[in-house]
């Protein structure tokens, strides 16, 4: 019993030390490293998605409410997931076009493969850049 407790305590200490070391590393541009950095969202209020189906399959997704000009020039991609959170389809990357107004943008992406609409339980949307 004492050996197991000591082994468990040693393992926990080693994991904590590894996490502390990783957290102290900076984010670099030329070397492989680990660390953390703030991510600034180009669209703080999120998106609205609309699905287009054909014969019961999701053929495309229109993402609306893309902040203008905040997200213009970025690269949008999405992933459709099942009830377990497993990826079943994706789309993009697609460039968010730049225009001369400040109205929110929308973008339609074709899904691949085209999953059955009944299996789609979630969506992950990301814009990289601009």
Cα separations in angstroms, 123 against 33, 54, 116: 30, 18, 14
pLDDT at 9: 38
Q: Give exposure, 2-20, as e/b (b: 16+ Cβ within 10 Å).
A: eeeeeeeeeeeeeeeeeee
Torsion of CA 43, 48, 54, 55, to 10 degrees: 130
How crowded is residue 24: how many other Cβ atoms within 10 Å of its Cβ?
Answer: 9
Please state the domain extents for the chain: 1-37, 48-128
Chain position carrying tokens 């999120």: 46
Q: Of the candidates 92, 14, 84, which has an alpha carbon nearest to the alpha carbon of residue 49?
A: 92
Structure pTM?
Answer: 0.68
pLDDT at 86: 97
Residue 1 has pLDDT above 50, yes or no: no
Tens-place pLDDT, residues 30-61: 555 566 665 678 998 889 999 999 999 999 99
């Amino acid at each position: 019993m004492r050996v197991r407790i000591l082994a468990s305590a040693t393992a926990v200490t080693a994991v904590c030390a590894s996490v502390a070391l990783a957290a102290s590393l900076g984010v670099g541009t030329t070397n492989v490293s680990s660390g953390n950095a703030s991510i600034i969202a180009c669209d703080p209020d999120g998106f609205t998605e609309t699905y287009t189906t054909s014969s019961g399959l999701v053929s495309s997704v229109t993402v609306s409410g893309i902040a203008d000009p905040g997200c213009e020039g970025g690269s949008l991609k999405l992933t459709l997931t099942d009830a377990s959170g497993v990826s079943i389809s994706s789309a993009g990357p697609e460039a968010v076009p730049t225009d001369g107004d400040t109205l929110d943008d929308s973008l339609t992406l074709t899904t691949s493969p085209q999953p059955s609409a009944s299996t789609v339980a979630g969506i992950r949307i990301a814009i990289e850049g601009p």
